[in-house]
Every structure is written in structure tokens, then in C-alpha cells.
Structure 1
Amino acid sequence: MPLGPLRPSPLVEQAAERLRAHIADGHWPVGTRLPGETTLAKELGVGRSTVREALRALAGAGLVRPRQGAGVFVTATEPVEDWPTRLRRAAVTDVYEVRMAVEVQAARLAAHRRTPDDITAIESALAGRRAATAADDVAFVDADIAFHAAVVAAAHNPVLADLFAQFTPVLREGLVELLALTGLRDHDPDTGDAAHEALVRAVAAGDAELAAEVLRAELEDPFGG
């Protein structure tokens, strides 16, 4: 099946999409060497520079890889998604399971490593969460996440902090939807306050196992306690 000429619009994007489709439908299986730039340019009805940029885009997506002196070879039939993209596509339940692993360990480390400034920041975040009691669900969720972020920050592990920041947007959306569906705050505007206060006390006291257990119990029952 010939590739066919392209319409006069963003040619690089069109060329990349046409080549990607040929790879996805098995026209060029993994391991196949693509036709040369001149051949592709002729079939697509574009210049070699357009083909070169399209191939560069496919390489960036992990679909092809150039081998010096040998040509360009297909390495995958589906683009490789980066971590933020995969998180945006993930189910909220999957993200929540990761959150459990990250935050429980962060709470344990925070109890060992917290500084006076960390405790001040966590207490301030708790106060902010309480101040958001009268606010709408979005503002309350933002305040809740800010509290948890302060606990993660107190662990002083940049990898844990980065992981938490990466899945925060998906987590935020899921928690807002949860509150909207359950109406939980209609009868308990400051839901979960006791558990959050208990976490602050455990971290401040340096009790790592208690901090981890309090947080685990809280996350098993979102906004519970």
C-alpha cells in the first residue's frame, strides 16, 4: 500500500502521523529498516527535510532508531509514554495504590528526619486545611493535598517528593470527584481532621511506625477518621 501524498497543512506532523500509522498497522514490523529519506519523501510528496524531522519525532516517541551507516529501524509499534502522560491515563485506583506506598514510607521517614521547620510547616498546613473547612470541595482538597505534601517534604527524600508531585494532579481530580459523589462534607465539613492531627503528633514525636500506621489507616478510608 503506497503512503500517498499529503495535504498542504503542517507537513512534519502529517508525515510523522502517516509513518506512525504504517508502523502501527504492521506494514513495517519491529526490526524493519525503513525506506530511505528520498524514497519516503517521494511517496509522501514532501521534501527530505520534512521526512527527516518526522523521523526525528518518531525517534523521540521511541518508535524508530537510526543506526549510523545502516539506516532507520523500527523499534516499537506504540509510542513510549512519559511518566506524566501515563499518570494522566491511569485509573485513580491505581494512582491511589501508588500514593499509599509513597506516603506511608514518607511518613515513616518524616518521623525520623523532621526538623523544627518541618514541624512548623506541617502544623501550618494542618491549620490551612482547617481554614478550608468552610470552602468548596476543590479548595478543601487543595488544602488537604498541601498538608500531605508537607509531610512528604519532611521525609527529605527528593525522589519521594517528585513522585508525589507527579501524581498530585490525578489524585486531586479523583478526590474532588469523590467528595462530589459522596457528599461527605455535607455533614462533616472538616472530615478526617482527627487522623491528620494524629499524624502531626506522631511525626513530631518521632514515632515512625505510628506515623506510618496512622497514614495507612487514613488512606484506606479517604477523608475518614
Structure 2
Amino acid sequence: MPLGSVRPSPLVEQAAERLRAQITGGTWPVGTRLPGETTLARELGVGRSTVREALRALAGAGLVRPRQGAGVFVIATEPAEDWPTRLRRAAVADVYEVRMAVEVHAARLAAHRRTPEDVTAMQLALEGRRAAAAGGDAAFIAADVTFHAAVVAAAHNPVLADLFTEFTPVLREGLVDLLALTGLRAHDPNTADEAHAALVRAVAEGDAEAAAEILCKELEDPFGSGGS
């Protein structure tokens, strides 16, 4: 089908969308070499630089790949999902397994690397969690996540911190739903407070194995016999 000229602005986005439609619609199957920049520019009614930027955007989406001296080839008909999108589609159980891997290791590191400021931040977060116990589930979960973020921050590993931040929204939503289903806080509004306090003590005392064990037990039984 003909590509059709694009409107004046934003040219790159429009050009990329037209090219994407050709790929996802099956006009250019996987393995196909795209027409040259000059041909695409003429059909789209834009300059070669616009086509070049549009192709770069499609390459970033995982749809095409340039081959030196050979041209640009289609490598997929559906754009690759970015990490945040994949996390939004992930099952809470899967996210929880990643959470355990990240947080348990972070707790070990935190026990070795924590500073007085880190300990203070964890203690303040613990108090915030206790204060939030008087509110609704959403507020309590938000405070709980803030506490766990303080523990991860004490590990002083920016990659671990970024991973935790990335899956926090999915985790928060899943935990709120879980609390609503179990009704656990109706019996204990500040559930698992002892475990959280023990975690702060273990990190503050530099006991890496105790910190990891406390957190591991807590995460293995979220909102069950004691954990969040």
C-alpha cells in the first residue's frame, strides 16, 4: 500500500509511525530490506534526515536493524516492550520473587555499609509505618514500601535501588489487593511490626546474616503469619 505524505509536524514521529504501520501490517515481513532513505523520503514527503531519525526510533523499538553496507532490515513485527511495560504486565508473584532476590541481598549489604544517617532513615521510616497503621490499606502499604526502600538505600548500590524503584508500583498495587482479600489488618493494623523493628536492629548492629534471614522469612510469607 502507498505510504502517503505526512503532515508538517512532528515529522519524525509521523514518519516513524507510517513506517511502523508498514512493518506491523505485514507489508515488510521479517528479513525484508527496507527501501533506501532517498526512496522513503520521497514517498513520505520528508527529508532524508527525518527518515534517518525515524529509522533510528524503529531500531530503538526493536523493529529494524541496520547492516553495514547492506541497508536496514526488519527484524520484528511487534515492538519490544520496555522494562516498565513488562513489569506492569507481570504477575505479582513473579515480581515478589525478584523483590526477594533484590531485598535480601540489599539487607546483607546494608548491614555492612550502613551509615548513621541510613539507620536514622530506617528508624524514621519504621515510625512512619507505625503511624500509617491507623489509616487505610493504601497508606499503610505506601509507608511499608518507604521502609523497605530505606533498607535498600542503605546498601549503597544504585543498581539495586533502581531495580527496587522500577517494580515498586506493581508491588504496591498487588499488596493493596492482597490486604483487601485477606483482611489481615482488621486483626492487626500494624502487621509484622516486630519483624520490621528486628530488621532495623540487625542492620544497625551490622549482622548481615540476621538481616537477610529476617527479611527472607518476612517476604516468604507476605501478610500471612507475619510479613509485608
Task: Please give the per-residue CA displacement for 1:92-151, whole angstroms capped at 9, x wherever unaligned.
Answer: 211111001000111111112222221111111111100111111111111101110111
Report the equivalent of 2:98: 98
Gaps of 5+ in 2: none
- Contact in 1 for aligned 2:107/2:212 (Cα 8 Å): yes
Deviates further, 47-56 or 98-107: 47-56
Q: Which residue of 2 aligns with 1:161?
A: 161
Task: Provide the residue aligned with 1:114 in structure 2.
Answer: 114
SS in 2 for 1:134: coil
For residues 83-94 of structure 1, the aligned pairs below 5 Å read: 83-94=83-94
Aligned ranges for residues 136-155 of structure 1 at < 5 Å? 136-155=136-155
The corresponding residue for 2:204 is 204
Distance between the aligned counterparts of 2:118 and 2:14, measured in 1? Answer: 51
Please say if residues 202 and 211 of structure 1, whose CA atoms lie closer than 8 Å, have aligned partners that are also in contact: yes
Instruction: State the partner residue of 2:46.
Output: 47
Residue in 1 that maps onto 2:190: 190
Amino acid at match of 2:162: D
CA distance in 2: counterparts of 1:157 and 1:143, whole angstroms? 22
Question: Does the 8 A contact of 1:6 with 1:14 survive in 2?
Answer: no
Residue equivalent to 1:133:
133
Does 2:10 align with 1:19? no
Contact 1:3 1:18 in 2 (8 A): no
* Partner Cα distance (1:25, 1:212) in 2: 50
Distance across 2 between alignment mates of 1:81 and 1:214 = 35
Distance in 1 (alpha carbons) for counterparts of 2:64 and 2:18 = 14
- Contact 1:103 1:215 survives alignment (8 Å): yes
Deviation at 1:15, TM superposition (A): 4.4
Q: What is the distance in 1 between the residues matched to 2:108 and 2:137? A: 29
Asked whether the equivalents of residues 105 and 212 of structure 2 are also in contact (C-alpha less than 8 Å), the reply is yes
Q: Distance in 2 between matches of 1:6 and 1:168?
A: 43
Residue of structure 2 equivalent to 1:73: 73
How much does 1:68 deviate? 5.3
Contact between 1:20 and 1:58, CA under 8 Å: does it hold in 2? yes
Tell me the TM-score normalized by structure 1.
0.86
RMSD over aligned CA atoms reads 2.4
* 1:164-195 deviation per Cα after TM superposition (whole angstroms, max 9, x unaligned): 11111111111112122222212211011111
Give the superposition deviation at 1:157: 1.4
